[in-house]
Structure 1
Amino acid sequence: YQNTISLKICWHSLESDNEACKLFDAVLTQYATWANDESLGGIEGCLSKLKAADPNFMGHVIANGLELIGTGSSVRLNKELDGAMRTMMTLSKAQPLTEREKLHVAALDMFARGQLPKACDLWEQILQNHPTDLLALKFSQDTYFYLGHHIQMRDSVARVYPFWTPDMPLSSYVKGYYSFGLMETNFFDRAEELAREALAINQTDAWSVHTIAHVNEMKAEVKKGLEFMKEMETNWKNSDMLACHNYWHWALYFIEKIAPRCLSSGSMLDVVDNCSMLYRLHLEGVKLGDRWNNVLKLTKKHTKDHVLLFNDVHILMSSLGAKDHKATEDELKFSPCDDHELSLAPSLGLPLCQAFVEFENGNCDKAVDLLYPIRYQLIQVGGSNAQRDVFSQLLIHAALNSKSQAKQNLARCLLRERDVMRPNSPMTERLIRKAAAVHSVV
């Protein structure tokens, strides 16, 4: 694994133990590259060794951060994580820390309390003085993504990008992070250029593959997307933390042609992808058999979590698809508090979820009334443009199936808008033909 000192992140609390430094770096490298290195025991194995080598501090920070941010867990739901956070806070007060280490602790404390934007502010403070702090950069990138703060996600990397010179370990991956932020803010050509630069350095960079998959999806370049994913599959399929998601992107191209299938590993990212994939097929009228019931086995235990609204609405898709009314009711119960995500529930989470319920109940007019007014605010729910596109598809299908001529006309307007943004999309062309057929009946 890489030399931590070369990354300029050798923490004060680890300086006395070279083995702990190496293990910390091994964990961070695997997190940054989206791949468990089984020869090192993977992230979990390295974390275990790190805590044994240096039980007093920074191992707790990266372990708790990965649990909070990497899995979307919460101290509110996970007593073991709550205990681990308390241990970390106690240790942080019992020894001299650098200002940077104090900020890392404070950022995780904010995240654990549901104050995600404040956590990002603290990581940005770190990056102002330590632009090559990869842990702060990666944690902030993932959290901005959860928040739907794509401009911040892009600019956070832009500010530190000049410091990541080619001789620095993992600098090509930072190039890939930057490319994703550019893509999510519609700088498609520059995003693809950077992603291909990163892949020229390291062909196994699954995140840069991910950026290009998004670019092709956003531009509706189906043939190009299919060819690219097939050509690169051997390189990215072993990046176990991202491979399933990249296969999901590959399958999106097939949805344009109507021919996909979705698998799930059980991780929350893959569960969300599974729900999204099946729901898109459902909107296209594909018969899904008992697949929703299989997904519900994974999602049902999370219906009361309410950690991220983005996850909530996808979990709801599964309960609606499986026609589990109790699970649907549980998913619609949000308790108000000062948690950032839950603070969005009244204005965004509930109307979005209710729109799915109304659509499934055949109340398409009501679904449009709920979804259309918040369509431009849905970025706050988080996820990528490609992931949130399922909400746009729901709005179009609801409007198309509405009994209101005005809403049917809205569907045609939305399709014209979509056609301009994604010219030559087979899905859009198919829906435009459907809209024309509806119009001829009216």
Structure 2
Amino acid sequence: MPASSALRDCQAWKDAKLPLSTTSNEACKLFDATLTQYVKWANDKSLGGIEGCLAKLKAADPTFAMGHVIANGLVLIGTGSSVRLDKELDMAMKTMVELSKTQPLTPREQLHVSAVETFAKGNLSKACDLWEEILRDHPTDMLALKFAHDGYFYLGYKEQMRDSVARVYPFWTPDVPLSSYVKGLYSFGLMETHFYDQAAKLAKEALSAEPTDAWSVHTVAHVHEMRAEYKAGLEFMQHSENQWKDSDMLACHNYWHWALYLIEKGDYEGALTIYDNHILPSLQRSGTMLDMVDSCSMLFRLQMEGVSVGQRWQDVLPVTRPHSQDHILLFNDAHFLMASLGAQDRQTTQDLLTSLQEASESPGENCQHLLARDVGLPLCRAMVEFKDGNADRALELLLPIRYRIVQIGGSDAQRDVFNQLLIHTALNCTSSAYRNVARSLLMERDALKPNSPLTERLIRKAAAVHLM
């Protein structure tokens, strides 16, 4: 993290051709400090963390429009709150928009205001278009690049996530602050579009420049996961742990990847130890959406493998239950549902489904609510049917949407929980019409991810019931 003296003041932002409409050097430096911590996925205690920087930024210049943009944008990008549910956020958004109308902002700043305002309405795709408009003229605008990257991730727009960075990558020369982290962003997009060798090479270049770059560690972890290279993955995570464990916003997710290797290997006790020592404590400490979905996904995977998780769902549910009717991201909704199903909380399950149905009936321009009817609701209902032992009905719901689940966002590794759900559902079907579905799915998985011990276990399970 840069020392306070290295943070950019008004003139430095002008020199970077990214002028900020404020006369406060302190506000400019605090904007830089907040942006830097966001990019690095870490709260810097010496700077007061992101929240501390935002509070000081507001005090330094209460009318600084880009200060309001980054503050509101970070709340929205966290997907734990929305203007529909949070009156304070709604008021903050209105204040941002009103300020933008009373000041001679640059066209770039006005686009930032519009993009965050659009994102708040749930129109993530249009918001990304506005950030891209900024990047065409200002390719080193890190806030636009990172917000677009995260927006594409939530939409499941894998190619856009890759190409957005590719278009500006040549402009991020080593003298530009945070340039090594752009390698990490680009490597992740390459990995998600299956350019695994290029992704790993670029991520390792980023780590050579900045060993504590937890996002580039994350890309390498994904490459090993997608190739079922659990031995190499475990070795990499163990050797690099000291470099990324203090990245408080991403460390839990990297431990989740570590645990996935152990599940792949069949070391369930090892995976649960990672969960108990790192993932659950992080969830209870932070309450962030990423920690919630990691906790839910891991326990759900283990249960599908036939592993008893004891009372662990009871620890997760109090954190997820208050968000069960948020409906900000369908990806989040599906994971909250795992928690209510796992904890056998039928009321919360029903409330989630009913309120999601209502959201789908009046979607407005909210892309997630528009997608709920055709993808989100069938997925959630299939999970309930699977839990209730109605595998045939669950498969009827899952098969038509299996290639659309990417639209709920997340990574290939994260969405693999739904691929596994589909296979386990097929394995438990009783109808003769579905008899060969499990076999077909397993042959497909084995071809795409050869040498996977998890797949081999599933094949043996299918063979035991004469499906292979």
Which is worse superposed, 331-340 or 237-246? 331-340
Question: Is the CA contact (8 Å cut-off) linking 1:164 and 1:171 kept in structure 2?
Answer: yes
How far apart, CA to CA, are the structure 1 residues paired with 2:18 and 2:404?
41
Which is worse superposed, 48-57 or 154-163? 48-57
- What is the TM-score when the length of structure 2 is the normalising length? 0.92
- 1:51 aligned to 55, 58, 62, which one? 58
Within-5 A mapping of 1:73-112: 73-112=81-120
How far apart, CA to CA, are the structure 2 residues paired with 1:188 and 1:318?
32
Deviation, 1:9, is 6.1
Q: Which amino acid aligns with 2:383?
A: F
Counterpart of 2:181 in structure 1 is 173
Q: Which amino acid aligns with 1:242?
A: L
Counterpart of 1:252 in structure 2 is 260
Tell me, which stretches of 5 or more residues in structure 1 are unaligned?
A: none
Within-5 A mapping of 1:153-192: 153-192=161-200
Question: Is the CA contact (8 Å cut-off) linking 1:150 and 1:185 kept in structure 2?
Answer: yes
Q: Secondary structure at the match of 1:204?
A: coil
- 1:383 aligned to 384, 407, 410, which one? 410
Tell me, which stretches of 5 or more residues in structure 2 are unaligned?
A: none
| 1:353 and 2:362 aligned | no
Aligned residues: 440
Deviation, 1:10, is 4.4
Deviations 1:174-212 (A, max 9, x none): 000000000000000000000000001111000000001
How far apart, CA to CA, are the structure 1 residues paired with 2:7 and 2:140?
14
Within-5 A mapping of 1:216-255: 216-255=224-263
- 2:300 aligned to 279, 285, 302, which one? 279
How far apart, CA to CA, are the structure 2 residues paired with 1:406 and 1:219?
32
Deviations 1:320-339 (A, max 9, x none): 11111110011112222211
Counterpart of 1:303 in structure 2 is 324
Question: Is the CA contact (8 Å cut-off) linking 2:18 and 2:138 kept in structure 1?
Answer: no
Deviation, 1:3, is 3.6
Question: Is the CA contact (8 Å cut-off) linking 2:18 and 2:141 kept in structure 1?
Answer: no
Question: Is the CA contact (8 Å cut-off) linking 1:400 and 1:407 kept in structure 2?
Answer: no
Question: Is the CA contact (8 Å cut-off) linking 2:398 and 2:422 kept in structure 1?
Answer: yes
| 1:399 and 2:429 aligned | no
How far apart, CA to CA, are the structure 1 residues paired with 2:69 and 2:17?
13
How far apart, CA to CA, are the structure 2 residues paired with 1:204 and 1:388?
27
Q: Secondary structure at the match of 2:435?
A: helix
How far apart, CA to CA, are the structure 2 residues paired with 1:71 and 1:431?
34
Q: Which amino acid aligns with 1:407?
A: Y
How far apart, CA to CA, are the structure 2 residues paired with 1:295 and 1:37?
27
Q: Percent identity?
A: 65
| 1:25 and 2:25 aligned | no
What is the RMSD of the two structures over their aligned residues, measured on CA atoms?
A: 1.3
Q: Which amino acid aligns with 2:45?
A: E
Task: Flag the 1:240–1:271 CA change in 2: closer, same or farther, 3 A.
Answer: same
Deviation, 1:405, is 3.6
Counterpart of 1:138 in structure 2 is 146
Question: Is the CA contact (8 Å cut-off) linking 1:408 and 1:435 kept in structure 2?
Answer: no
Q: Which amino acid aligns with 1:330?
A: D
Deviation, 1:404, is 2.4
Counterpart of 2:345 in structure 1 is 324
- What is the TM-score when the length of structure 1 is the normalising length? 0.97
How far apart, CA to CA, are the structure 1 residues paired with 2:261 and 2:310?
22
| 1:416 and 2:443 aligned | yes
How far apart, CA to CA, are the structure 1 residues paired with 2:17 and 2:39?
14
Deviations 1:301-338 (A, max 9, x none): 11111110000000000101111111001111222221
Question: Is the CA contact (8 Å cut-off) linking 2:79 and 2:328 kept in structure 1?
Answer: no
- 2:69 aligned to 61, 70, 85, which one? 61
Q: Which amino acid aligns with 1:298?
A: V
Q: Which amino acid aligns with 1:32?
A: V
Q: Secondary structure at the match of 1:203?
A: coil
Q: Secondary structure at the match of 2:119?
A: helix
Deviations 1:325-384 (A, max 9, x none): 110011112222211100001100000001100000100011111111111111100000
Deviation, 1:164, is 0.2
Counterpart of 2:42 in structure 1 is 35
How far apart, CA to CA, are the structure 2 residues paired with 1:305 and 1:389?
24
